[in-house]
Amino acid sequence: MKYTGEESKPQQGRSLKIIGRIAALIVLIAAALLFFQYRSNLSTRISKVLAATEEDPIPVTKLSRQPFSLNVPANGEIVGLETTPVMTPGTSSGSLKIAWLINEGSFVEAGAPVARFDSTDAKLSLEKQQNTLVANEENTKIKTLQQKTDEKVLGIDRTDAEEEYQYAMTVMPQDESIFSKWDIITAQADAHYAKERIDFLKSKAKTQQRIARSDQQILTIERNRAQAEVATIQQTLNSLELNAPVGGLVLYHREHREDPQIGDETYPGQVVVEIINLEVLQARIYVLERDGGNLTKGQPVVIKLDAIPDKEYQGTIRNISSVAASIERNSVLRYFTCDVSISDAGRDLKRIRPGMNLRGEVILQKYDSCFVVPSGAVTYRDKEKDSVVYVKKGDAFVSKTVETGLSSHGEAIIISGVDEGEMIALTNPFETRKLYLPDFSKGGAAQQGPGGMRGMPPPGGMMMMRGGRGR
């Protein structure tokens, strides 16, 4: 069989392709060997290129004092007028009976009486304790006189016993030739009896003294207890009149939809009436948990109502919830709940209704004069426990310790430590850039990973920029 030149052309083409691939592979292997051999020099050259030069200066800013207010956004709604409850005072008797009650709908001034309680039981208890004090005083006098009388009687008996003993010892017969044995034994018995009587009277005196002290202590305990009861009852009598803590409109507090009546029993802490301040609105706002770390009572709040967008109202935080909670079911966001009093809405009370939505700003801190700089310009030093900025002096930078205030996200507040007009670095000028090159010796350069080529630096770890914060 004969082969023509046309039939051999495909075979020559395939041979050329194979030769080309082998040559390309040889070139790639040679390039990889050269890269591994000279990679240290390459890294040095790239670092020199990326190093800070005069064309890549440290960013600076000029300090200028200005007023600054640190605010936290909030949302909420109007919940109604400010209400102040008036509660039953705590007494030793536990419950109190209403004897007089102001008419509902009355306007009262602060300090005016709104309710009085029956004082009959308290007065009877006071009279009883006062009688106890009088009886205690009389018993104390009687016990004292009785103690003195007993001491005198014991003194007389003891003197008599001592004289009898002295006489018995003086005239005691001893000569059996003159006195009978009976007389001698009788005289000795009389002397022994007198001696025992003296000892008995001494013990009796000590016992009577202990009894007298015990009686006096019991009387003192009773007197102190009666005095404490009298003081408590006096306090109860003084608190039987409830006065309005603030001025406003009086409304009854209804239990089970029933109005309080004269003769009803109330217990300590039970609300009897409520005072409505018609000049102060009450709102409820919700602050995100991340922004609520510096919330405190008394902080001012600027309120804007959606229904009245052209006006701003001033409020004050009255209460703050102790923990943050979700306000919507299955929501991951948590809020602190704050009760706010709005005191300058008097003219617009007819236009404002409970349930109106509002937007607010809580003023956490207000500075009349301070320096506001990016947060990266202030460096906190863990070792020294202070904050510094870097002030430009000629071509160099000098660190200065500064006093910082309450800062916001991305901004830092400098109160003192630097002067007006000074130039400070926006980043730390003493931290240089660092280059991280891939390590091709680990895992190979041609293996793929989840994020692309393996051996490449992770995102964010490419280099450390000036300022000390990775970008």
Q: Verify that 132 and 211 share a domain, yes or no.
A: yes
Q: Verify that 341 and 443 share a domain, yes or no.
A: no
Q: Verify that 138 and 226 share a domain, yes or no.
A: yes
**Any domain includes 411:** yes
Per-residue pLDDT of the chain (471 residues; tens, 9 = 90+): 444 445 555 666 677 778 878 888 888 887 777 766 666 555 555 544 444 444 557 889 999 999 998 899 999 999 888 888 888 887 766 788 888 999 988 889 988 999 988 888 778 888 888 898 898 888 888 888 888 888 888 888 888 888 888 887 887 777 777 778 887 888 888 888 888 888 888 888 888 888 888 888 998 999 898 888 888 888 778 778 888 988 888 888 887 777 888 888 888 888 889 998 887 889 999 999 988 888 999 999 999 998 888 899 999 999 999 999 998 888 899 999 999 999 888 778 778 888 899 999 999 988 999 999 998 889 888 888 899 999 998 888 999 999 998 877 788 999 999 999 999 998 888 875 444 455 555 544 444 333 333 333 333 333 333 333 333
Positive or negative: CA dihedral 425, 430, 431, 435: positive
The 3-state DSSP class for residue 85 equals strand
Q: Verify that 293 and 361 share a domain, yes or no.
A: yes
Q: Verify that 166 and 124 share a domain, yes or no.
A: yes
CA of residue 41 relative to chain centroid, distance:
60
Q: Verify that 161 and 218 share a domain, yes or no.
A: yes
Rounded to whole angstroms, the Cα distance separating 244 from 36 reads 89
Rounded to whole angstroms, the Cα distance separating 81 from 341 reads 9
Question: Comparing C-alpha atoms, which of 63, 65, 70 is closest to residue 409?
Answer: 70
Answer with the one of 366, 384, 400 that is the final residue of a domain.
Answer: 366
**Any domain includes 243:** no
> Two tokens at 458?
């992770």
Q: pTM above the 0.75 mark?
A: no
Q: Which domain holds residue 389?
A: 61-69+368-433
**Any domain includes 400:** yes
Q: Verify that 133 and 229 share a domain, yes or no.
A: yes
What total number of domains does the chain contain? 5
Q: Verify that 362 and 254 share a domain, yes or no.
A: yes
Q: Verify that 336 and 438 share a domain, yes or no.
A: no
**Any domain includes 56:** no
**Any domain includes 376:** yes
Q: 205-212: list long-range contacts, CB under 8 Å, 24+ apart.
A: 205/151, 205/154, 205/158, 208/147, 208/150, 208/151, 208/154, 212/143, 212/147, 212/150
Element (H, E) at 15: helix 5-50
Answer with the one of 238, 266, 293 that is the final residue of a domain.
Answer: 238
